């Protein structure tokens, strides 16, 4: 365990591709420990005197609050940087921004559009870089999701997770995360909106080592059949607002509702990364119902992020 911690120190988290299954379990264990300490009122200033630069090209509720509050609880300081606050929004290169920030802070979190931008930032930074979200991946969200599933189900390996909706950054990171921890995953998306083939293939390669089963289908009923966990996301993510009506039509049969959830196990849990559009990708009966654990999931963003920062920084 100590060797694993040493290996994570100073590393970047750009995608769940960067972590082994063992490292994911270590992060979840650390998150659970930090959560218990916080609930018990036990101080845990492991990052006392350290500073995190938070670059937000995309706005957020959960990402900003979890990283900012997390750094405070860990004894450090988080600096919010919007495109209006830094020169990167006015044409300074990503590489130059990385070089400058590395001289002044101990870690960088970035929430942006292009995965390539995060990777370039990490290439030129001398401090850990954490991906707070890109259009391709959302590793921090899925760590919080896995923590939530583990809390409610007592394990991860062998469970079935069904994701219904857009084959987006959430779907990509769930595929990789589930495969690495031995969870079976079935993704149901309409044609033209499925996960990228190369991400699915990466997940299949990881699954060979853990015994996880990977399914990508156009049939939401087949995907949800016998599921322990059901996950969905908005049909039009940030930056796709102009496609809203087109997507509403394409995803009409992919709503998570009582009829669809009847195909899952009787004790299934429901996850959504939020914000949710009730009446679109999920009905109020499900997200506000007895199977929903979305508020635990949202809170766990704080604890998962704290574990990531504590271990990397």
* DSSP SS3 for 118: helix
Q: Is 103 annotated as a binding residue?
A: no
Instruction: Identify the active-site residue in 12, 150, 273, 303.
Output: 273
Rounded CA-CA distance 255/277 in Å is 11
Q: Is 111 annotated as a binding residue?
A: yes
Q: Is 169 annotated as a binding residue?
A: yes
Instruction: Identify the active-site residue in 57, 73, 141, 255.
Output: 141
Q: Is 233 annotated as a binding residue?
A: yes
Q: Is 195 annotated as a binding residue?
A: no
Instruction: Identify the active-site residue in 228, 301, 303, 305.
Output: 301
Is 261 marked active-site? no
Q: Is 83 annotated as a binding residue?
A: no
Q: What are 162's strand-pairing partners?
A: 186, 230
Asked if 287 and 48 touch (Cβ cutoff 8 Å), the reply is no
Q: Is 96 annotated as a binding residue?
A: no
Asked if 78 and 54 touch (Cβ cutoff 8 Å), the reply is yes
Rounded CA-CA distance 307/61 in Å is 19
The H-assigned helical ranges of the chain are 2-8, 21-39, 62-73, 94-102, 115-124, 139-153, 169-181, 197-210, 220-224, 244-250, 258-261, 284-287, 294-312
Instruction: Identify the active-site residue in 11, 138, 172, 291.
Output: 138
Is 44 marked active-site? no
DSSP label of 9: T
Is 273 marked active-site? yes
Q: Is 238 annotated as a binding residue?
A: yes
Contacts 24+ apart (CB under 8 A), 296-300: 296/148, 296/151, 296/152, 297/144, 297/145, 297/148, 297/271, 297/272, 297/273, 298/62, 298/274, 300/31, 300/35, 300/144, 300/145, 300/147, 300/148, 300/151
DSSP label of 292: B
Is 141 marked active-site? yes
Q: Is 139 annotated as a binding residue?
A: yes
Q: Is 244 annotated as a binding residue?
A: no
Q: Is 237 annotated as a binding residue?
A: yes
Q: Is 173 annotated as a binding residue?
A: no
Q: Is 87 annotated as a binding residue?
A: yes
Q: Is 93 annotated as a binding residue?
A: no
Run of H or E residues at 188 = strand 184-188
Q: Is 135 annotated as a binding residue?
A: no
User: Which residue in this structure is represented by tokens 């007592």?
Assistant: 154
Instruction: Identify the active-site residue in 57, 106, 111, 272.
Output: 111
Instruction: Identify the active-site residue in 106, 145, 228, 233.
Output: 233
Task: Compute how many other C-beta atoms are within 10 angstroms of the C-beta atom of residue 266.
Answer: 7
Rounded CA-CA distance 303/130 in Å is 15
Annotation: binding site for L-ornithine: 169, 233, 237-238
Annotation: binding site: 60-63, 87, 111, 138-141, 169, 233, 237-238, 273-274, 301
Annotation: binding site for carbamoyl phosphate: 60-63, 87, 111, 138-141, 273-274, 301
Residues annotated catalytic, as ranges: 111, 138, 141, 233, 273, 301
């Amino acid at each position: 365990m100590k060797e694993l911690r040493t290996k994570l120190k100073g590393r970047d988290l750009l995608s769940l591709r960067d972590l082994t299954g063992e490292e994911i379990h270590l992060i979840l264990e650390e998150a659970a420990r930090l959560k218990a300490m916080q609930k018990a009122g036990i101080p845990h200033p492991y990052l006392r005197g350290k500073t995190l630069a938070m670059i937000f090209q995309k706005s957020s509720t959960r990402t900003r609050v979890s990283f900012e509050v997390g750094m405070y609880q860990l004894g450090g300081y988080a600096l919010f940087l919007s495109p209006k606050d830094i020169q990167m929004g006015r044409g300074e290169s990503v590489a130059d921004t990385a070089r400058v920030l590395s001289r002044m802070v101990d870690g960088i979190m970035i929430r942006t559009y292009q995965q390539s931008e995060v990777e370039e930032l990490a290439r030129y930074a001398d401090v850990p870089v954490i991906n707070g979200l890109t259009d391709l991946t959302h590793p921090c969200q899925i760590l919080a999701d896995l923590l939530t599933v583990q809390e409610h189900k007592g394990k991860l390996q062998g469970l079935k997770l069904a994701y219904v909706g857009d084959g987006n950054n959430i779907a990509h990171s769930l595929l990789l995360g589930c495969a690495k921890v031995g969870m079976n995953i079935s993704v149901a998306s309409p044609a033209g909106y499925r996960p990228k083939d190369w991400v699915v293939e990466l997940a299949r390669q990881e699954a060979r080592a853990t015994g996880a089963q990977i399914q990508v289908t156009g049939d939401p009923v087949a995907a949800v059949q016998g599921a322990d966990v059901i996950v969905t996301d908005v049909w039009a993510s940030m930056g796709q607002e102009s496609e809203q009506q087109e997507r509403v039509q394409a995803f009409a049969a992919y709503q998570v509702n009582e009829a669809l959830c009847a195909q899952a196990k009787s004790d299934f849990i429901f996850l959504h990364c939020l914000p949710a559009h009730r009446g679109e990708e999920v009905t109020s009966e499900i997200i506000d119902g007895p199977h929903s654990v979305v508020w635990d999931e949202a809170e766990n963003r704080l604890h998962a992020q704290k574990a990531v920062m504590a271990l990397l920084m």
